[in-house]
Chain A
Amino acid sequence: MTDTVEYNGITLHKQSEYVWEITQTGEMRSPARVFASEKLLSEIGDDDTLQQLVNATHLPGITKYAICMPDGHQGYGFPVGGVGAMDTTDGCISPGAVGFDINCGVRMMRTNLSYSDVEGREKALVNRLFETIPSGLGGGGVISGDRKTVEAILTDGMKWALANGYATPDDLSHCEDGGWRPDAAPEHVSEKAKNRGEKQIGSLGSGNHFLEVQRVTDIYRDDVAAAFGLQPEQIVVLIHCGSRGLGHQICSDYVRKIEKGHPELLAALPDKELAAAPAGSELATAYYGAMCAAINFAWVNRQVIMHQTRQVFAEIFDQSPQALEMELLYDVAHNIAKKEVHTVNGRDRELYVHRKGATRAFPAGRKEVPEAYRTVGQPIIIPGSMGTGSYILRGGENSLALSFGSTAHGAGRVMSRTQAKKQFWGETVRDELEETQHVYVKAQSGATVAEEAPGVYKDVDEVVRVSDALGIGDTVARTFPVCNIKG
């Protein structure tokens, strides 16, 4: 491969190993960069991801460059795997660059069980988890909330969970931002969003969301793994979901409000789904407050699911969650916009850092990293598919300079859902995973399993390898599924 490649009419110039740049031209307000190996780049270039990345550079105030992570793929408006940092004084904030599922994210819980403790009990475990944790469409939530409950969750985040017996103090101290965004403004969340939220507190949803019991298979950095409390053959639990209908409604509401309120800005953008509110405008303030409230809701959603998981493990293994040392390793968002201070051209600037399908990856020393991990770097959790495993990384030393402190968020899809259902049969995928890899899967429908079959994703090993090589997220440990529930 030469130092210049072209996909769908878009030319990329190789800057250094794994760094590709699209030159600023025309109405673009910045260049764009793709962090990928040649193999991943050929997959990224196969759909409209690169055009969506170019479109993202049209957003006002975009700083340095729009970025596509190694797991990037086509989304709506802003690509999945996209990072865009816009100035908070003369830039903008874009709901479409956050995504509908505000604070979709992942958390990992440690246990003191080893794989041998679980072998032989996988079916009992997966069945009980599936019965206990609502999933799919219409599964309700662990908590049937009222308006007062939703308002409290939107305001207080995981502090509400602690006060109501769903969390421990250590859960909060091991969550991004302590599980609470003080900028939350529930008054800017619509009644429709709150109505949807009442019925879904503690629910996985469907799509690519799941809960997975995993075993640690590989350790790559002993010292960091020790700081994260990870060791070979250890059982951990990974939970992937977001703010459910409440967050989806907030995004839908603000896309329309911004479309009507700032038509002049929208007219200058190549995709209406990029609708953005100018920094300092009433709508920018309102959306940021509503989005932060949804962030709080999502943290509570994952916390309540984790609480249920603790109860199931206690029942199956006949020990208390405390005796099983079921402790939160970390919870990190991958659909979010946050005001963060970054050094740009030698000057500290406050930016709305949009991460849509991208994970914050702050290195050691950054004050936002929880105290427990400040000397080693922020934990990063990158889920793979049901048949390949997941990774735990730590924020790399180059992340602030290269990617506004960000890295990938998963394996990234390469095959559409419609194609997946033609190519895979859910029951067959499930049976093969059980028979050949001893992975026990339980889902609401076979179609969901087919849509999420291991073959629809990029090579997560390659995604993580690029992140590690760039120094934006360093590989710490690898896990492999034991059992998986999904909607």
Chain B
Amino acid sequence: MSYTLRSHTADVAVEATADSIGELFAAIADGLTEAMCEWYPENGERFTITCTAERLEGLLYDYLDQLIYERDVREVLPVEHHAVVTEHPEAGTDEQWTITATARGVPFADVVARDIKAVTYSEMTVEERAAGWYGYVVFDV
């Protein structure tokens, strides 16, 4: 899995590739972290996030939105993301996809970081290509 920060006139975009959907989502979250901070220390407890959604794009939106929320209320910078995404074709309309993810939360007091306001749907791409999974997300700065 890998990610790259991409140029956007006012905001910032993350482009990522991975072998699985879960790894793709985690790579995009790692890009979100890099957009906020170039360096972070080794401390901080891991925490867990679980989201369900009707579609993959919605799941990615909810996951990244939840990460930004947890950042603000836990007062930590989420780093080193891991995620597993599973499909539930038998479930209800709003619960077709689930993500269970973890991140290490570096206390704000121990890091200098910048705000990312929100995840956006603009230009969002989540798709399986010949070489694996591909994702592109624009974040509002």
Q: Which of A's residues lie within 8 Å of B, judged by CB?
A: 47, 49, 73-77, 80, 96, 99-101, 136-138, 192, 195-196, 199-200, 205-208, 245, 248-249, 251-252, 255-256, 259-260, 271-273, 275, 413-419, 444-445, 447-448, 487
Give bound CA distance, A192 to B73, whole Å: 9
Give bound CA distance, A208 to B141, whole Å: 8
Q: Which residues of A contact B65 (CB under 8 A)?
A: 252, 256
Q: List 30 A–B pairs whose Cβ atoms lie within 8 Å, in order of A's numbering.
A: A47-B9, A74-B9, A77-B120, A80-B10, A136-B114, A136-B115, A137-B113, A138-B75, A138-B108, A196-B72, A199-B73, A206-B114, A207-B115, A207-B141, A249-B69, A255-B121, A256-B61, A259-B58, A259-B121, A272-B124, A273-B122, A413-B9, A414-B9, A415-B9, A416-B8, A418-B8, A419-B7, A445-B114, A448-B114, A487-B115
7 nearest A-B pairs in the assembled complex, by CB-CB distance: A138-B108, A76-B122, A416-B7, A272-B121, A76-B120, A273-B122, A100-B118
Q: Is B19 an interface residue (CB 8 A)?
A: no
Give bound CA distance, A481 to B3, whole Å: 38
Q: Which residues of A contact B72 (CB under 8 A)?
A: 195-196, 199-200, 245
**Smallest distance from the beta carbon of B76 to chain A beta carbons, Å?**
8
Q: Which residues of B contact A445 (CB under 8 A)?
A: 112-114
Q: Which residues of B contact A195 (CB under 8 A)?
A: 69, 72-73
Give bound CA distance, A358 to B141, whole Å: 17
**Smallest distance from the beta carbon of B3 to chain A beta carbons, Å?**
13
B112 touches A75 (CB 8 A): no
Q: Which residues of B contact A101 (CB under 8 A)?
A: 117, 140
Contact with A along B119-134 (1 / 0, CB 8 A): 1111110000000000
Q: Looking at chain A's contact residues, is the secondary structure mostly helix, strand, loop, or mixed? A: mixed
Give bound CA distance, A47 to B120, whole Å: 18
Give bound CA distance, A47 to B11, whole Å: 13
A137 touches B7 (CB 8 A): no
A207 touches B117 (CB 8 A): yes
Nearest A-chain residue to B119, judged by Cβ: A252
Q: Which of B's residues lie within 8 Å of A, judged by CB?
A: 5-12, 36, 38, 54, 57-58, 61-62, 65, 68-69, 71-73, 75, 77, 94, 108-109, 111-115, 117-124, 138, 140-141
Which one of B11, B114, B122 lies within 8 Å of A487 (CB-CB)? B114
**Smallest distance from the beta carbon of A135 to chain B beta carbons, Å?**
10
Give bound CA distance, A249 to B64, whole Å: 12
Known: A74-B9, A414-B9, A447-B38. A196 touches B117 (CB 8 A): no
Give bound CA distance, A419 to B5, whole Å: 11
B112 touches A444 (CB 8 A): yes
Residue from A47, A245, A448 with most neighbouring chain B CB atoms (10 Å): A245
Q: Which residues of A contact B10 (CB under 8 A)?
A: 73-75, 80, 413, 416-417
Q: Which residues of B contact A487 (CB under 8 A)?
A: 114-115
Known: A75-B11, A413-B9. A136 touches B112 (CB 8 A): yes
Q: Which residues of A contact B57 (CB under 8 A)?
A: 272
Nearest B-chain residue to A99, judged by Cβ: B140
Give bound CA distance, A215 to B6, whole Å: 37
**Smallest distance from the beta carbon of B112 to chain A beta carbons, Å?**
5
A418 touches B121 (CB 8 A): no
Sample of 4 further A-B pairs with CB below 8 A, known A101-B140, A196-B69? A76-B138, A99-B140, A245-B68, A416-B9
